[in-house]
Amino acid sequence: MALSSCPPLSRRFILLAALGGATLGGAALAGVAPGHAADTPAALPRIGIIGAGQVGGTLGRLWAGAGYSVMFSSRHPDELGQIVAAAGPNARAGTVEQAIAFGDVILLAVPYHAEPGIAHEHGAALAGKVLIDADNAYPFRDGAVAREAQAEGVARYSARLFAGTRFVRAFNSVNASSLADGGGGDTEVIYSYTDNAAGAIVAALIKATGSIPVRGHDL
C-alpha cells in the first residue's frame, strides 16, 4: 500500500517504524548493540608522570596495575627501564615533553625547586590538562622558592604557577611507602581542587591506589 493512501494514524506508525529501524541500524554499524550504547564504560584517562622517584614510581606502578596507561618521564628516559618493568605492560618511558603530550592527567612528582622551571618551559603544553601536584616545599632543600611558597601557601603558590591547568593538590600528605602495597584500604589522601570534574578524576585515581580520598580546603 502506498504511504499516501494510508490513513493519517497509519502513516505515523509507518514513519516511526522506519525511523526506529534507521536508529537501530546506525547503532549496529557503529558496533554498539542496540539498547547498550549508554552502558559502554568511559575510557580511563592516560597518565603522564614527571619525575620517577619514590612518589612517581610508586603511584605509576599502582595506576598501571589498576589498568591505566602510564608514561614515566625524566631527563634521562633511557634509565627508567627498571621502573617500567616493575609497573608492567601498561607502562612506558619517555621525555617530559612526551609524557605531557601522552597524558590526559599529569602527575608532578619532582623536588619543589623544579616547579618554576617546569611551569616556564612546559606551561603552554600543560594548559587544559589535569595536573596533580604531589610536591612539598622544603627550604633546606628548595631554597628561596620554598620560602615564598610557604609564605603564600604551597598549594596556592603552585596553582598560580600552573594557572592554565586544571590544578589538583594531592598525594603530598602521605608517604609513598604507605601506598607501596596498595594503601590497604585505610590510607586517607587529602586532595584540593577548584575544578569539580578534575577533582572527580583524581578521587578515582586515589581509590585506584587502594586509598580513601578526603576533600581538603579550597584553593
Domain ranges for the chain: 7-39, 47-215
Query: What is the grid cell recorded at 173?
Result: 600528605
Q: Give the model's pLDDT for residue 161.
A: 97
- Structural contact between residues 73 and 98, judged by C-beta atoms closer than 8 angstroms: yes
Amino acid identity at 100: I
Overall size of the chain counted in residues: 219
211 to 78, 89, 142: CA distances (angstroms): 31, 23, 29
Residue 168 pLDDT greater than 60, yes or no = yes
Interval 30-88: pLDDT, tens: 333 434 444 555 799 999 999 999 999 999 999 999 999 999 999 899 999 999 999 99
Q: What percent of the chain has pLDDT over 70?
A: 79
Q: Is the pLDDT of residue 23 over 50?
A: no
For 184, list phi and psi in degrees, rounded to 5.
75, 5
Q: What is the pLDDT, as a whole number, of residue 171?
A: 96
More confident residue, 108 or 10: 108
> Which of 14-23, 78-87, 125-134, 149-158 has the lowest average pLDDT?
14-23
* 179/77: higher pLDDT: 77
- For the chain, the 3-state helix, strand and coil shares in percent, each to the nearest 5, are 50, 15, 35
pLDDT above 70 for 7: no
Homologous superfamily (CATH) for 47-215: NAD(P)-binding Rossmann-like Domain (3.40.50.720)
